[in-house]
Structure 1
Amino acid sequence: MLYPELFKQLEAVRWNMEKDVPWASFDAAKLSDEQAQTIKMNAITEWSALPATEMFLRDNQHDSDFSAFMSIWFFEEQKHSLVLMEYLRRFRPDLLPTEAELHDVRFEFDKAPALETLMLHFCGEIRLNHWYRRASEWHTEPVIKDIYTKLSQDEARHGGAYLRYMKRAISSVGNEARAAFTKVGVLMASARRTAQALHPTNLHVNESLFPRDTIQSRLPDPEWLEHWLDKQINFDAVWENKVVERILHNTSLLMDRSFKTVQELNRYRKEISRELADGLAPPPAEGAKA
C-alpha cells in the first residue's frame, strides 16, 4: 500500500494555518479590490475538492489504498479553501463567500474511467501549481503571496502522490493504464490549442446540467477564470510551455520513453492503442531520464 508512506511524507511537511501563515505581516495598502475579488473566486473553486472527492470515492470502490489517500488530499485541498476564506475574513470580510456560493459548486459528476480521471487530476495539479506560482508573483500583499506559495507547493506534492499511483497502475494493468494516461496526457498538454483553460474545474462533468456543469460555470462570475489567467496573473505562452514540459517530462518517466513534444506522445498513444487492441506487450524502452 502507498497510503501509509504518503501519509508520513505529507504529514512531515504540512503547514499550520495559525502558526505558519504570517498574518501579522498584512499590509492593507498592498491589497487592491481587484486582487481581493480573485481570492474569493479561488476560495470557491478550491471548495470543489468536495464533489471531486465524492467522485473519486465512488469510482474507486475497488481500490481501498487510493481511497484512503483521498483522506489526505481532501483535507489539504479543503484547507486551501479555508485559508483563503480566513484571509478574507480577517482582511476583507465583505468578500467572504457565502455558504450558498460554496454549496453551488457541489454537484454530482458523471461516472468516468478511473485511470483517465487519475491522469486528468495529475495534470490538473501540475497546472494549478504553476497558476498559483504565478498568482503569488502577481499579488503585492505579503500575506497572500505567502499563502499562494504554500498552495502551489501543496499542489506539487499532490501531483507527486498521484504519480505514485499511476506507476502502480502501470505495474498492475500495463497497457490499459498506458492507454488511459497517454490519451489524457495528449489532451491536457494541448491547452495552447484550445479556447479555454484545460483544468478539471473547467471541464464539463455532468451532461444533465449542461451548460452549468463545470465548476467555473457555477461561480458568482463564470467568466472569472479566463480573465484571471489572461489579464491579471498573465499566464502567457511561456508559463503554458512550463506546464506542457512538466506533463511531457512526467509522462516520459511513467512510460520509460522520451517525449519532447505532444506529437511524439500522441504517436506513442496510437502505438499503445494498437498493441492493446492486438493484445501485444509494450514497446521497448528508449531510456527516458529523470
Structure 2
Amino acid sequence: MLYPELFVQLEKARWSLEEDIPWADFDASRLTDEQAQTIKMNAITEWSALPATEMFLRDNKDDSDFSAFMSVWFYEEQKHALVLMEYLRRFRPDLAPTEEELHSVRFEFDPAPPLETLMLHFCGEVRLTQWYRCAADWHTEPVIKHIYQTLSRDEARHGGAYLKYMKRAITRFGNEARLAFAKIGFLMASSGRSGKPLHPTNLHVNQSLFPNDTVQSRLPDPDWLEDWLTSQIRFDEPWEARVVGGILRNLSSLFDRVIDTPQALNRYRKELIASLKDAEPVLNSTV
C-alpha cells in the first residue's frame, strides 16, 4: 500500500493555518481590489476538491489504498480554500465567498475511466503548481504572496503522490495504463497551443448540465480564469513551458524512454495503440 508512506511524507510537510502564515505582516497598501477579487475566485475554485473527491471515491471503490489517500488530498485541498477565505475574512470581508457561492461548485461529475482521471489530476497538479508560483510573483501584498507559495508547494507534493499511483498502475495494468497516461498527457501538454490551457476545473464533466458543467462556469465570474491567466498574472509561454516540461519529464521517467515533446508523446501513444491491437488476436485465441 502507498497510503501509509504518503501519509507520513505529507504529514511532515503539513503547515499550520495559524502558526505558519505570517498574518501580522499584512500590508493593506499593497493589496488592490483586482487582486482581492482573484483571491475570492481561487478560494471558490479550491472548494471544488469536494465534488472531485466524491468522484474519486465513487470511481475507485475497488481501490481502498487510493481511496484512503483521498483523505489526505481532500483535507489539504480544502485547507487551501480555507486559508484563502481566512485571508479575505481578515482583510477583505466584503469579498469572502458566501456558502451559496461555495456550494455552487459542488455538483456531480459523470463517471470516467479511473486511469485517465488519475493522469488528468496529475497534470492538473503540475499546472497548478506553476499557476500559483506565477500568482505569488504577481501579487504585491506579502501575506498573500506567502500563501500562494505555500499552496504551490502543496500542489507539487500532490503531483508526486499521484505519480506514485501511476507507477503502481503500470505495474498492475501495463500498456493499458501507459496508453491512458499517454493519451491524457498529450492532451494536457498540447492544450496551451490552443489558447486554453486545460485543467480539471475548466473541463466539462456532466453532460446533463452542459454547458454549465465546468467548475469555472459556476463561479460568480465564469470568465475569471482566462482573464487571470492572460491579463493579470500573465501566465505566458515561458511559464507554460514549465508545465509541459514537468509533464514530459515525469512521463519519460514513468515510461523509461525519452519523451521531450508533445509530438514524441503522441508517437508513443500510437505505438501503444498498435501494440494493444496486435495483442488482441493472441488474447482472443487463448479464450
Alignment TM class, shorter chain as reference: over 0.9
Spell out the pairing of 1:219-238 with structure 2 (5 A cutoff).
Answer: 219-238=219-238
Q: Deviations over 1:193-234 (max 9, x none)?
A: 223230000000000000000000000000000000000000
Per the TM alignment, residue 276 of structure 1 is displaced from its structure 2 partner at its CA by 1.2
Per the TM alignment, residue 192 of structure 1 is displaced from its structure 2 partner at its CA by 2.1
In structure 2, give the amino acid aligned to 1:15.
W
Question: In structure 1, how many angstroms separate the alpha carbons of the residues matched to 2:126 and 2:99?
Answer: 29
Per the TM alignment, residue 191 of structure 1 is displaced from its structure 2 partner at its CA by 1.5
In structure 2, give the amino acid aligned to 1:6.
L
Question: In structure 2, how many angstroms separate the alpha carbons of the residues matched to 1:132 and 1:191?
Answer: 18
In structure 1, give the amino acid aligned to 2:82.
L
Spell out the pairing of 1:99-248 with structure 2 (5 A cutoff).
Answer: 99-248=99-248
Question: 1:40·1:85 contact (CA, 8 Å) conserved in 2?
Answer: yes
Q: Which runs of 5+ in 1 are unaligned?
A: 281-290
Between the two proteins, the alignment pairs up a number of residues equal to 280
What is the match of residue 53 of structure 1? 53
Per the TM alignment, residue 277 of structure 1 is displaced from its structure 2 partner at its CA by 1.8
What is the match of residue 11 of structure 1? 11
Question: 1:197·1:226 contact (CA, 8 Å) conserved in 2?
Answer: no
Per the TM alignment, residue 143 of structure 1 is displaced from its structure 2 partner at its CA by 0.2
Question: In structure 1, how many angstroms separate the alpha carbons of the residues matched to 2:23 and 2:224?
Answer: 27
Per the TM alignment, residue 267 of structure 1 is displaced from its structure 2 partner at its CA by 0.3
Question: 2:192·2:198 contact (CA, 8 Å) conserved in 1?
Answer: no
Question: In structure 2, how many angstroms separate the alpha carbons of the residues matched to 1:195 and 1:213?
Answer: 20
The TM-score normalised by the length of structure 2 is 0.97
SS in 1 for 2:16: coil
In structure 2, give the amino acid aligned to 1:200.
P
What is the match of residue 271 of structure 2? 271
Per the TM alignment, residue 259 of structure 1 is displaced from its structure 2 partner at its CA by 0.6
Question: In structure 1, how many angstroms separate the alpha carbons of the residues matched to 2:229 and 2:93?
Answer: 25
Question: 2:188·2:197 contact (CA, 8 Å) conserved in 1?
Answer: no
What is the match of residue 20 of structure 1? 20
Aligned-residue Cα RMSD (Å) equals: 0.7
Question: In structure 1, how many angstroms separate the alpha carbons of the residues matched to 2:15 and 2:175?
Answer: 38
Is 2:89 the counterpart of 1:89? yes
Per the TM alignment, residue 145 of structure 1 is displaced from its structure 2 partner at its CA by 0.2
Q: Deviations over 1:92-125 (max 9, x none)?
A: 0000000000000000000000000000000000
What is the match of residue 78 of structure 2? 78
SS in 2 for 1:279: helix
What is the match of residue 42 of structure 1? 42
Q: Which runs of 5+ in 2 are unaligned?
A: 281-287
Identity %: 73
4+ residue runs over 3 A deviation: none
Could you tell which deviates more after superposition, 101-110 or 191-200?
191-200
In structure 1, give the amino acid aligned to 2:13.
V
